[in-house]
């Protein structure tokens, strides 16, 4: 028969301090990616052709890494009116890129009306955008602000790196979520490419949602006002980016091909609760293990244990009031328990 002991108020202690923990943003705790892979099955599917590409840290198409290759993030392209994409199954004008733009508008903006568009910090209207969305398990509570950057390559081997502006500006809030601007620079700091004291704004990052929005025009057009001679402030001009009105340019594939480096860390606050499990000398001295008893009557198998049972505690289960198992704690080594021994086991639960 199972025995349950209810905790007293003094047996549960809430930790006083929440610890801030950061870790690599990608699988196996890696802090950066310089090699990017896609799945041929996914990219050739309707979702891959029309909407987004999954990006892996290992090649899922070869036997050596197919079992360990996992999705790190997705790349999608959206246009407010549907340009840059086409599907024969779509109603005219309601093309995949419009659906993508609308989806992220509904998720990210305060007033997601059909005519609402994203805007940059310099009040530039974003008609078409690239959305980089991290897998939920990668960024824990949020992307660690100021500790990430993405480098892209464009035509003529121009490279550009973007980061958030948390080191120079406070966060704002949109639709209940913290938002920072994406500007030129890296995780070592922002870079001024414009004349005066203004930065080049490339988009916005929503750390708690793991979403980075980049202005398509700033990546491919010539709409960045920069000081004379500062060529890195010009648009990337990703080769053949595409933005036609009724053709599938598979823009997300071209953004994928421009990736050079993605570096970042995940951030989370961890709180702890301590549970003191007390086993008095008269408690928990018997076992339901089939080796402990014999016969239908459940007699103790070893006569030397009659009146003096010897058991070992190896696992402690934490249950709710309905006696449903919620958590299991394993001891580093079995703990001897009998009528002459009492035990106090401290369990630390992090969350």
Inter-CA distances, 257 with 36, 49, 150, 152, 233, Å: 9, 15, 13, 9, 21
Query: Within this chain, do residues 116 and 264 fall inside the same structural domain, yes or no?
Result: yes
Residue 287 lies in a domain: yes
What is the number of domains present in the chain? 2
pLDDT at 196: 53
Shared domain check, 278 and 234: no
On whether both 305 and 193 belong to a single domain, the answer is no
Q: List, in order, residues 6 or more apart from 62 with CB less than 8 Å away.
A: none
The reply to whether 2 falls in a domain is: no
Same domain membership, residue 262 and residue 287: no
- Do residues 142 and 181 share a domain? yes
Q: Return d(Cα 64, Cα 5) in angstroms, integer.
A: 50
Summarize pLDDT for 102-122 with one digit per residue, the tens: 999 999 999 888 889 999 998
Residues 78 and 207 in one domain: yes
Backbone angles phi and psi of 58, in degrees to 5: -135, 160
Domain annotation covers residue 1: no
* Domain C-terminal end among 269, 295, 315: 269
Order of strands across the sheet with 343-350? 12-14, 272-279, 343-350
Q: What is the pLDDT of residue 225?
A: 44
Residue 299 in tokens: 């007699």
Residues 228 and 305 in one domain: no
Domain-located, residue 200: yes
pLDDT of residue 285: 75
Which domain does 315 fall in, by range?
Answer: 9-16+271-350
Cα–Cα distance measured from residue 45 to residue 8, given in angstroms and rounded to the nearest whole number: 57
| Rounded alpha-carbon distances, angstroms, from residue 349 to 16, 109, 113, 319, 346 | 13, 36, 44, 13, 10
Q: Quick one: 113 and 164 in the same domain?
A: yes
312 lies in some domain: yes
Low-confidence stretches of the chain (pLDDT beneath 50): 1, 222-233
In a domain, 127, yes or no: yes
What local confidence, expressed as pLDDT, does residue 212 receive?
Answer: 98
Last residue of a domain, one of 207, 242, 269: 269
State whether 141 and 283 are in the same domain: no
Phi/psi for 2 (5° steps) reads: -75, 145
Q: What is the spatial distance between Cα 244 and Cα 188, in angstroms, rounded to a whole number?
A: 37
Burial status of residue 180 (CB atoms within 10 A of its CB: 0-12, 13-18, 19 or more): buried
**Does 94 fall in a domain?**
yes
User: Is 79 in the same domain as 140?
Assistant: yes
Strands 265-270 and 142-143: antiparallel
Question: Parallel, antiparallel, or unpaired: how do β-strands 177-186 and 201-206 relate?
Answer: antiparallel
Gap between the Cα atoms of 341 and 351, Å rounded: 32
Domain co-membership, 64 together with 180: yes
Q: What is the Cα–Cα distance from 38 to 202, expressed in whole angstroms?
A: 25
Whether residue 3 is contained in a domain is answered as no
Choose among 199, 60, 182, 184: nearest CA to 129: 182
Q: What is the pLDDT of residue 245?
A: 66
Q: Name the DSSP class of 100.
A: H
CA of 175: how far to CAs of 106, 118, 202, in Å? 9, 13, 20
Bridge partner list, 75:
53, 132
| Shared-domain flag, residues 51 and 177 | yes
Last residue of a domain, one of 214, 234, 269: 269
């Amino acid at each position: 028969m199972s025995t349950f002991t209810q905790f007293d108020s003094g047996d549960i202690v809430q930790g006083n301090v929440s610890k801030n923990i950061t870790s690599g943003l990608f699988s196996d705790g890696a802090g950066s990616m310089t090699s990017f892979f896609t799945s041929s099955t996914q990219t050739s599917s309707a979702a891959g052709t029309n909407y987004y590409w999954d990006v892996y840290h290992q090649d899922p198409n070869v036997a050596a890494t197919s079992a360990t290759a996992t999705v790190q993030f997705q790349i999608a392209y959206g246009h407010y009116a549907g340009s840059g994409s086409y599907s024969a199954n779509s109603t005219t004008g309601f093309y995949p890129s419009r659906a993508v733009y609308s989806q992220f508008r509904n998720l990210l903006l305060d007033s997601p009306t059909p005519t609402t568009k994203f805007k940059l910090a310099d009040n530039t209207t974003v008609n078409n955008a690239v959305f980089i969305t991290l897998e939920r398990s990668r960024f824990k509570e949020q992307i660690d602000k100021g500790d990430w950057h993405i480098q892209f390559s464009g035509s003529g081997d121009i490279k550009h790196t973007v980061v958030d502006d948390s080191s120079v500006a406070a966060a704002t809030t949109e639709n209940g979520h913290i938002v920072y601007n994406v500007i030129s620079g890296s995780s070592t700091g922002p870079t001024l490419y414009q004349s005066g004291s203004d930065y080049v704004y490339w988009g916005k990052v929503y750390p708690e949602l793991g979403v980075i929005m980049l202005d398509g025009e700033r990546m491919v057009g010539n709409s960045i006002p920069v000081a004379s001679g500062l060529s890195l402030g010009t648009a990337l001009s990703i080769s053949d980016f595409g933005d036609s009105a009724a053709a599938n340019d598979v823009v997300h594939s071209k953004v994928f091909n421009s990736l050079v480096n993605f570096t970042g860390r995940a951030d989370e606050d961890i709180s702890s609760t301590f549970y003191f499990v007390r086993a008095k000398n008269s408690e928990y001295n018997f076992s339901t293990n089939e080796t402990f008893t014999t016969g239908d009557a459940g007699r103790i198998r070893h006569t030397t244990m009659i009146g003096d049972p010897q058991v070992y505690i190896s696992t402690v289960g934490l249950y709710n009031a309905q006696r449903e198992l919620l958590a299991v704690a394993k001891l580093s080594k079995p703990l001897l328990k009998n009528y002459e021994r009492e035990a106090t086991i401290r369990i630390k639960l992090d969350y």
